[in-house]
């Protein structure tokens, strides 16, 4: 899988080199409000909430035809969820699940210039490679950290979609803002029990810059 992803990135860069007037690159920074869609659901006594994580990386964009572009990114992102309830002794307990991924979203973008700004929408697949995973459990004034990487699948497939806007600030330089939803498609539990599954979800807010080459 890693060799396939590397080959796709090389092909993208080779293609981009033939159309430099429409090729741009730049950094990305943002936050991910992550959660996990669990099946079966937790009981009503467990409060499930979003896990706020960071994301950062870089993106490359190439114009294909008219308003249509392809954007490929390499992003480090923190996913997970937070749970609150009572442990077996009836004490208040909290658990934070954090999974760190290296993601490669491949997005088809459609831009709709309005004056000097360029609103856009996008859609595309996302492949995430698991780097590390941890469970932090708090109860009775004590904290227990557990490495859970071996319990999770090494690859997470998702579908990303959203919208954004590009604002030029200098010749060949634009600031971009976008909001996206990442819909996990694969079960991240490595060895699930019968009918057990967990799929990642994420609401992301991203800011970045694009430098035309």
Where along the chain do its domains lie?
2-212
Range 3-18 average pLDDT? 53
Range with lowest mean pLDDT among 21-30, 149-158, 177-186: 21-30
User: Among all chains, which residue has been given the structure tokens 């990305």?
Assistant: 28
- Give dist(CA 19, CA 21) in Å, integer: 5
pLDDT above 60 (res 182): yes
Segment 59-97, tens digit of pLDDT: 999 999 999 999 999 999 999 999 888 766 667 889 899
pLDDT of residue 148: 94
Q: What is the pLDDT of residue 195?
A: 82
Predicted TM-score of the model (pTM)? 0.86
Q: Rounded to an integer, what distance in angstroms lies between the CA atom of residue 51 and that of residue 84?
A: 12
Asked if residue 131 has pLDDT above 90, the reply is yes
Cβ atoms of residues 90 and 101 within 8 Å? no
Tokens of 57: 């990386």
**Does 212 score more than 60 pLDDT?**
yes
**What Å distances lie between residue 95 and 8, 46, 80, 180, CA to CA?**
38, 10, 11, 26
Residue predicted with more confidence, 43 or 102: 102
Domain 2-212 class in CATH? mainly beta
Q: What percent of the chain is modeled with pLDDT above 70?
A: 85
**Averaged confidence pLDDT in the chain:** 88
Question: Most distant CA pair in the chain: distance in Å?
Answer: 65
| Structure confidence at residue 84 (pLDDT) | 86
Q: Report pLDDT digits (tens) over 189-208.
A: 998 888 888 999 999 999 99
């Amino acid at each position: 899988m890693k060799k396939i992803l590397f080959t796709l990135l090389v092909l993208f860069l080779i293609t981009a080199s033939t159309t430099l007037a429409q090729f741009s690159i730049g950094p990305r920074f943002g936050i991910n409000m992550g959660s996990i869609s669990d099946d079966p659901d937790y009981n009503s006594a467990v409060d499930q909430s979003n896990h706020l994580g960071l994301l950062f990386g870089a993106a490359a964009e190439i114009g294909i035809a008219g308003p249509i572009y392809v954007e490929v990114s390499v992003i480090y992102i923190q996913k997970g969820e937070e749970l609150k309830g009572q442990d077996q002794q009836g004490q208040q307990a909290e658990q934070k699940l954090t999974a760190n991924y290296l993601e490669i979203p491949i997005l088809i973008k459609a831009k709709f210039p309005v004056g000097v700004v360029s609103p856009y929408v996008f859609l595309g697949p996302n492949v995430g490679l698991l780097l590390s995973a941890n469970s932090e459990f708090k109860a009775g004034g004590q904290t227990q950290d557990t490495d859970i990487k071996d319990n999770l699948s090494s690859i997470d497939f998702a579908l990303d979609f959203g919208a954004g806007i590009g604002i030029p600030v200098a010749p060949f330089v634009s600031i971009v803002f976008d909001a996206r939803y990442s819909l996990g498609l694969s079960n991240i539990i490595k060895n699930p029990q019968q009918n057990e599954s967990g799929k990642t979800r994420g609401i992301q807010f991203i800011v970045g810059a694009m430098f035309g080459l």
